[in-house]
Every structure is written in structure tokens, then in C-alpha cells.
Amino acid sequence: MTPEEFLEEVREANKTALSRLGSSKALYADTMGEMDAGEVLTAAATAEHHAAETYAAWAGFSEDEVAAAFETTADEERDHYETVAGELDDHDPGEVPAIQAYLRDLEGDVERVGGFVGRTLAAEKSKEQVTGFFVGDADPQTARLFRGMGDDLDAQLERATDLLESLCGDNDECWERAETAASGAIQAAYAEYTERLEGMGVNPKPVC
């Protein structure tokens, strides 16, 4: 399997979840219905903080190129967090998001790198929504900040798939393990999205 085929399979297997995580309802779920700039920034900062913590921990569990990739990604996520938190008076990271709880339970480089792919695909959808929110809020400067973070996610996705190519090569079972982990990450985010919306009495299914 090639990295391109892997990404296509993960996206296809999680088409519905990714579509809904890329809808405006996802931002509504992330902010628990409080769709104002402060709450959007707070939700984004929380996501970045916990992602940085996950990748930093993973770097300590791995070696060589895998550890280096996780450390680089942890540094990027810390930078993202500091950027977003800098737009707030203060920030309490709050509870660990479901996707990060899932990722932290993964064991083994293949599974973690697969989870890395899943988290990145889900995060791309989130960044698109946050960027769109600030465009609509007539705040182009903040929109540019999040657009830049989205560019970092492109690099992270390439980093993750390059690692998988190195780790798995022609081993189909290895690619399947990575795909299971990637899908698990996306589905964890989607389950939390669904639970939050249903808890607010909102139907999570229609995309808007």
C-alpha cells in the first residue's frame, strides 16, 4: 500500500464522520453552543494543549525517526497553543478531549502513527471551521492565524504518512493496524461530537 492509498482508504472509511466534523455543527458542539469568539478560541486552545501533551508523551515512548517526528509535532502544537492562548486573557486547558484520550491509550509505533493520521484529518476539519468562523466574524487577522495552523497540519500529515511508509513497507497487516488506529481516532472525535449535540437537544446527523 502507498501513503496515498492509505489516506484514501481512511477518508473513505470515515467519510460521514469527517463530513460532519467539518460542518458548522462541529464548532457548535466544541463550544457547547456558545458561538462567540472567546469560546471558539478557548475550545481551540484546549485542543492544541492536549494534542501537544499527547505527542510529547509519545516521543518518550519511541526512538529514532518516530520519536523525532512526535517531538517536532509536539513543538508545533505547543506553538499553536501559545498562539491561540495569547488571544485570551487566560486559559484553563480543561478536560482531555475524547480523541486525545483514545490516542493516549494506543500502544506501539504503528498504532500511534496511525492515530496521528486520524487526529490530523479530524483537526483539519476543525481548523477549516474555526477559520471560517473568524472570516464570518470580520476578523481576518485571527482567521489568518488558523489558516497558518492548517498549513502545519498539511506538513504533519505528510510526516505521518512518510513514517508509515517507513514502518510498514509492503506489510499489509501493518497498514491495516495503522488504518484501524486512524479510524478509531476519527470515530472518537465523532462520538464526542454526537454526544455533545444530543446532550443539547440538537440532531447531529444533518450537515449544515
Q: What is the CATH number of the domain that holds 153?
A: 1.20.910.10
Structural domain includes residue 207 = no
Average pLDDT for residues 172-179, to the nearest whole number? 97
Structural domain includes residue 204 = no
- In whole angstroms, give the CA distance from residue 182 to residue 112: 9
Question: Mind listing the pLDDT tens digit for each residue in 113-172?
Answer: 999 999 999 999 999 999 999 999 899 999 999 999 988 999 999 999 999 999 999 999
Residue 89, classified by CB atoms within 10 Å of its CB into exposed (0-12), middle (13-18) or buried (19+), is exposed
The amino acid at residue 39 is: E
- How many domains does the structure of the chain reveal? 1
Place of cell 496511525: 114
Structural domain includes residue 208 = no
Q: What is the largest CA-CA distance in the chain?
A: 50
- In whole angstroms, give the CA distance from residue 120 to residue 155: 10
- In whole angstroms, give the CA distance from residue 89 to residue 68: 33
37 CB-side CA count, 13 A: 16
Q: What is the pTM of this model?
A: 0.94
Whole domain around residue 19: which residue ranges? 3-199
